Structure formats: structure tokens, C-alpha cells
Amino acid sequence: MTTAIYAGKPVEVTDEGFLENPSQWDEQMAREIARAEGIEELTDRHWVVIRFMRSQYEEKGAGPSVRVLGKTSGVSVKELYQLFPKGPAKTAAKIAGIPKPIGCI
């Protein structure tokens, strides 16, 4: 575990940079994490996905996979990869301040 500074606040993050405590998250933090992930500007479409990730996490305790995102978030899988080229489920979860999605086994 390490400490990172986002939006001027120190937060605990995992080795891979996921927030340890999702309740510490705020929108300014999201913009800074996004920049660190190579996404300069979060557009409205990014926010649709980020908000969806957070609501899913609050409801189910885990972020959805790309397939589930594509079926339920209103953003197609193709567009998800355009928005988050390095992997939508992982990158969007990181920006949304929720834990890394559990990969399928």
C-alpha cells in the first residue's frame, strides 16, 4: 500500500493505483487520476461511464466487466475502448475510485 496525493489530499492506494477507500473519492480527484492514466480531458461520455461504475459499485460491491458495461451502461463496447483505450473496466474503475474489478477465472 502507498499514499498518493490527489486533489491536494493524501489517499491510500493499492500497488496498482486503485483507491483503498472509495469514499475518499471526489470529482477533482477523478480528473487527476485520469490525467495520470493518459486521459487529458474527461468528456460527458467519460462521466456517464464513471458515474455508472460508482453506482454499480454502491449497489453490488464490485465494478462491472467490459461486457456488462457494454450491455448496461448505455455506452457500447467499441466506444468504451475509444474512451478508455487501456482497458475500460480497469481504467474507469481506477478513475471512479473503486476497487479493481475481479477478473474472471
Partner 1 sequence: MTKRVVIVGGGTGGTIVANRLRRAEPPDELEIVVVDQDDHHVYQPGLLFVPFGLAKLDEITRPRGHQLHRGITYRLGKVDRVDVEAEQVLLEDGSSLGYDVLVIASGAVLAPEETEGLTGPGWGEKVFTFYEPGGATALHEALERFRGGSIVVNVIDMPIKCPVAPLEFCFLADSYFHDRGMRPDVKLTYVTPLDGAFTKPVASSRLADLLAAKGVELVTEFNTAEVDGHGGRLIGYDGREVPFDLAVVVPLHNGAPFVGRSPGLGDELGFIDVDEHTLQSRAHPNVFALGDAAGVPVSKAGSVTHFQGETLVENVRQFLRGAPLDALYDGHANCFIETGFGKALLIDFNYDTEPLPGHYPSRVGLPLLKESRLNHLGKLMFQPLYWHGLLPGRDVPGIGADMPTHGKSTATVP
Q: Among 14, 17, 71, 74, which residue interacts with partner 1 (rule: CB under 8 A)? A: 71
Q: Identify which range of 10-18, 21-29, 33-41, 66-74 contacts partner 1 by CB under 8 A.
A: 66-74
Q: What is the largest CA-CA distance in the chain?
A: 38
Q: Identify which range of 1-9, 11-19, 64-72, 93-101 contacts partner 1 by CB under 8 A.
A: 64-72
CB-CB contact of 69 with 88 (8 Å): yes
Q: Among 4, 7, 48, 77, which residue interacts with partner 1 (rule: CB under 8 A)? A: 77
Q: Identify which range of 23-31, 32-40, 47-55, 65-73 contacts partner 1 by CB under 8 A.
A: 65-73
C-alpha to C-alpha distances, 91 to 29, 50, 75, nearest whole angstrom: 14, 10, 15
Question: What number of residues does the chain have?
Answer: 105
104 carries an active-site annotation: yes
Residues binding partner 1: what is the number (CB under 8 A)? 16
Q: Check residue 103 for interaction with partner 1 (CB under 8 A).
A: yes
In the complex with partner 1, the residue whose CB is nearer, 29 or 83, is 83
